[in-house]
Amino acid sequence: MAELIGATLQRKGLYRRNANANDVSSIEATEEIPKVIDDLIDNKMFRNKFKALIRRGHLQDLLDLAAVAPTKEKPSRWFATVTAKKNWERTLDFLKKLRKVERVVQEVQRRIQVPARNVAAVFKAAWLHQDSTVRLAIDASEKATTSPFRYFCKTALGKTAATTTA
């Protein structure tokens, strides 16, 4: 009976076999931290925390945070702060908002032609106006006489921002 239970647990992956066996039943062997994330971890003693987050299904969240980190002044310090246990819920809310802003920016780029060097202006407008940014882009494409992007910047960011970005 005990052998039957042990075999069932091994099949479902709930039980580890002998450590000397040459199979991949060890938790450490199945979950590797991607190099992008591992490079941002200053104190390597916290690797188990990141392995646990990956096990809980937050790999994509960590990869998105790793993509944002290079834009910060001290990337590894920022990454450590946002992945801290006390900040994790706020970080998940931030990622939700970031993904929504990225979708809005893509929608605006489909509506009006945005120069590659001025995409930051569209991101700024999307952070400020959220969903109404798409409406502003539609207005710009319909009402602009010369450049829809300039009109968009004028209406979304104000006159001073339009002259500096365009």
- Cβ burial of 136 (10 Å; 0-12, 13-18, 19+) is buried
- On the question of pLDDT at 63 being above 90, the answer is yes
Residue 6 CB neighbours (<10 A): 12
pTM of the model: 0.67
pLDDT single digits (tens) 132-145: 888 888 888 888 77
- Cβ burial of 129 (10 Å; 0-12, 13-18, 19+) is middle
Res. 78 pLDDT band, cuts 50 70 90: very high
- On the question of pLDDT at 163 being above 50, the answer is no
Q: Please give the Cα distance from 61 to 147 (Å, whole number).
A: 37
Domain ranges of the chain: 1-27, 31-83, 102-166
Res. 49 pLDDT band, cuts 50 70 90: very high
- Cβ burial of 32 (10 Å; 0-12, 13-18, 19+) is exposed
Which whole number is the average pLDDT over 1-20?
52
pLDDT single digits (tens) 80-116: 999 999 999 999 999 999 999 999 999 988 888 888 8
- On the question of pLDDT at 57 being above 80, the answer is yes
Res. 77 pLDDT band, cuts 50 70 90: very high
- The percent of residues in the chain predicted with pLDDT above 70, rounded, is 77
Helical packing angle, 47-55 and 59-68, nearest 10°: 130
Q: Please give the Cα distance from 23 to 116 (Å, whole number).
A: 49
Taking all residues of the chain, what is their mean pLDDT, rounded to a whole number? 81
Q: What per-residue confidence (pLDDT) applies to 65?
A: 94
Q: What per-residue confidence (pLDDT) applies to 1?
A: 54
Q: Please give the Cα distance from 50 to 111 (Å, whole number).
A: 39
